[in-house]
Structure formats: C-alpha cells, structure tokens
Amino acid sequence: PDGKWAVNTSETTNMLHWIDTSTNQLVDNTLVDQRPRHVEFNKDSTLLWASSEIGGTVSVVDVEKREIINTLNFKIKGVHPDKVQPVGIKLSSDGKYAFVALGPANHIAVVDAKTYEVLDYLLVGRRVWHMAFNLDESRLLTTNGVSGDVSVIDVDSLKVIKSIKVGRYPWGVVVAP
C-alpha cells in the first residue's frame, strides 16, 4: 500500500523476491515453504502474508526486516493434509481478519490477523482459489474453480450465505463501484 515494494512469488525457488520500486532493483529474497502463490500486504505495509500452496502454509513476514515472524498451518477435520493448499489471501482493512483460500480443501480459513490463531474453517465450493470483498467489506466472495461458482460469506457472522453459479473454472473476482 505504501508503494515501496513489489514482491514476486517464485514457485520454483520457494522465495519471495523483494523489488525496490524506486530503483526497480531486486534487493532481497525471503525463503518460504514450497510453491508460494500469492502475497498480500496489510493496510500499513508493515506485514506481508504469503501463501505456499504445496507447503500448505502461510508465512507472515515483517516487511522492514523481510523475515518470517509467523507460519500458519491448517488442519481441517476430515480433510487430508495434502488437500490443504493455500492460494488466495484477503486481509480485512480493519486489521481484524485474514481469510485464506485453501484450494482443494474446499474451505476458507478465518484467521485472527493479530494473534494468527485460526478461528474457523468455512466450507465453500470446490477448489477455492481467490477472494474479494464487496465495497463495504460486509461480504467476501470466493471463486470456486471446480464447482464453477462463487460463494458469498457474511463477514459479520462468518457464515457462507449462498453460492452463485458463474461458469467454468472461476479463478479470481473483482468488485468495482
């Protein structure tokens, strides 16, 4: 959000590459778990959340030091660990929640963004990839690639309220005014 960094995920080297946007130079690398897929900065640009799809984790990185300060693991009752493949991450602008799309586990992890505790797992459609908030962040929309739908989550109650058929393999969603 402050525009200082561009961060590239490298699936083959398992690294986050830090590019200084004022010089366009690569200045650092942070090793994370296997196959990083998506990064998301918090609102004040002090933390970066990075998903590792095959590693099954999310790393929380101190932006100033470019070092991991916490690694989140996910365990869903009745779901084999190999199916837990984090991809998309959305952070609420109030700093309360991190939502993590867990791929073929068919769940969204709800994480307390301050304590890093997993609060709940919300069952959505099949192979959930990415998410977007509506404009006032009262709803979170998830794209479920294999089931061809978008799940709508009420953020206040942390409940899935409906699914909407959208066609084959939705990968991402954008909300605009």
Give the integer Cα–Cα distance in Å for 75 and 68: 21
What confidence tens digit (pLDDT) does each residue in 63-116 have?
A: 999 999 999 999 999 999 999 999 999 999 999 999 999 999 999 999 999 999
Task: Please work out, in degrees rounded to the nearest 5, the angle formed at the alpha carbon of residue 49 by the alpha carbons of 137 and 113.
Answer: 55
* Assigned token pair, 130: 């990415």
Q: What percent of the chain has pLDDT over 90?
A: 99
What is the pLDDT of the chain when averaged over all its residues?
Answer: 97
* Domains of the chain (ranges, CATH numbers): 5-165 (2.130.10.10)
14 Cβ contact partners less than 8 Å away, ≥ 6 residues apart: 31, 32, 33, 34, 35, 36, 52, 55
Q: What pTM, to 2 d.p., does this model score?
A: 0.97
How many other C-beta atoms are found inside a 10 Å radius of the C-beta of residue 86?
30
Residue percentage of the chain with pLDDT more than 70: 100
For residue 81, the 8-state DSSP code is G
Listed residue (11, 4, 15, 110) closest to 64, CA to CA: 4
For the record, the structure tokens of 51 come out as 């998903």
What span, in angstroms and rounded, lies between the C-alpha atoms of 54 and 134? 29
- What are the tens digits of pLDDT across the range 30-66? 999 999 999 999 999 999 999 999 999 999 999 999 9
Which among 141, 142, 154, 148 is positioned nearest to 169, based on CA atoms?
A: 148
Kindly state the average pLDDT of the residues 157-167. 97
* Spatial separation of the C-alpha atoms in residues 60 and 149, rounded to whole Å: 29
